[in-house]
Amino acid sequence: MKLSKDLYGDLYLKMVQTRNFEETAARLFVEGKVHGTAHFCIGEEATGVGVCSALEKEDMITQTHRGHNQAIGRGMDLNRMMAEFLGKETGYCKGKGGCMHIADFSVGSLGANGVVGGGIPVATGAALSQKYFKKPNITVCFFGDGATNEGAFHESLNLASVWKLPVLFVCTNNYYGMSTHISKSMNITDIASRAASYGMKGINVDGNDILAIHEETLKAREYILKNGPMFMVLNTYRWMGHSKSDSQVYRTKEEVNEWKLKCPIKRFREHLIKEKIFTEAEISALDKKAQDDVAAAVAFANASPEPKIENIFDDVYAEGDIRTQKPKNGFVL
């Protein structure tokens, strides 16, 4: 599939921005500048960037807790993302949500979710809204392989199929649910086969091939608008642990290194140069821009103020301020 040079460049830049963002975030974590935990998608950059590159402006997505590639792929602001990661007031959630809960309705992101499979019913509801209002758009729902064992996954796919909702269910299969390999948590080898249980089309795509992901998402979007929901499994691998507290004793270094040889960024870079789409100098310029963009995001976050203690309850409750409201029947409304 032949793309424009601008799109090729955008795909590469966003993958490299994601890699730089996460490597920088991991360093900041080690330096003690990040509290709590963090979940990185290094090795999976092609999945979120590739899918989002094929969407229209009014399409929507729900992200996962390992969703920096999805957020950057959808065009979210690096400055606000880094500020949220560092718990600053200028972050997407004013420093209260961390990287697992960022959202940006202006680019169609309904938010990331720290609950396994938590975004699946949200995306299904969004797709119901799109169908009800007869909008020519779809919702993409990202989740991991572990979420396909959750009740929310099966209930949502069933309803989406019955109601023929315009939703693309995207499973980022990195083969491990925390520390458990999929062979120990499900008695199938092809996760996409679960779609058949709901009369839904299911496909597998190489999750390290960004061009294949882009092309298959374009086809899926067209199919969904005509026929209803679809299930896409992107087979890839996370190089780092489940979270920063993961000692990774459940897998070998040889296994990790084998997957590193399949690096989606290296693979795409080699393709761009081999096909003479970009020169090595042009690729180096994109690498530098990604580094500069992330460095600028860190500078922005470091210069941003900490959240104010007097604003701790802001945006927590739907209406008013819990400190000034009187309970009604035992509840604050």
- Per-residue pLDDT tens for 144-174? 999 999 999 999 999 999 999 999 999 999 9
207: left (phi over 0), alpha (psi -120 to 50) or beta: alpha
**DSSP H or E run through 181:** strand 180-181
CB atoms within 10 A of CB 103: 18
Q: For the residues of 86-118, what is the DSSP string, one character each? A: TT-TTSTTTTSS-TTS--BGGGTB----SSTTT
d(CA 85, CA 88): 8
pLDDT, tens digit, for every residue of 262-274?
A: 999 999 999 999 9
pLDDT confidence of residue 320: 53
User: Taking the CA of residue 201 as centre, how many other CA atoms within 13 Å lie in the half-sphere pointing to its CB?
Assistant: 16
Q: Which two tokens stand for residue 139?
A: 């919702």
Q: How far is CA 41 from the centre of its chain?
A: 9
Residue 103: pLDDT over 70: yes
CB 224 within 8 A of CB 195: no
Residue 169, beta-bridge partner list? 141, 231
Looking at CATH, the fold of the domain delimited by 5-311 is given as: Rossmann fold (3.40.50)
Look-up: residue for tokens 């499900």? 186
Number of residues in the chain: 333
The percentage of the chain sitting over the pLDDT mark of 90, rounded to a whole number, equals 81
Of the candidates 232, 231, 228, 251, which has an alpha carbon nearest to the alpha carbon of residue 241? Answer: 251
Residue 321: pLDDT over 80: no
**DSSP state, 166?**
-
pLDDT confidence of residue 263: 98
How many helices and strands (H and E) does the chain possess? 10, 7
**What torsion, rounded to 10 degrees, do the Cα atoms 272, 273, 278, 282 define?**
120
pLDDT band at 290 (very low <50, low <70, confident <90, very high): very high
Residue 192: pLDDT over 90: yes
Mean pLDDT of 271-281: 97
pLDDT confidence of residue 333: 39
* Of 77-91, 97-111, 302-316, highest mean pLDDT: 77-91
Residue 332: pLDDT over 60: no
Q: Which two tokens stand for residue 320?
A: 């008013």
d(CA 220, CA 169): 10
Q: At what angle do helices 5-30 and 264-274 cross, to 10 degrees?
A: 150
pLDDT confidence of residue 243: 84
With H, G, I as helix, E, B as strand and everything else as coil, classify residue 206. Answer: strand
For the chain, which residues make up each domain, given as ranges? Answer: 5-311
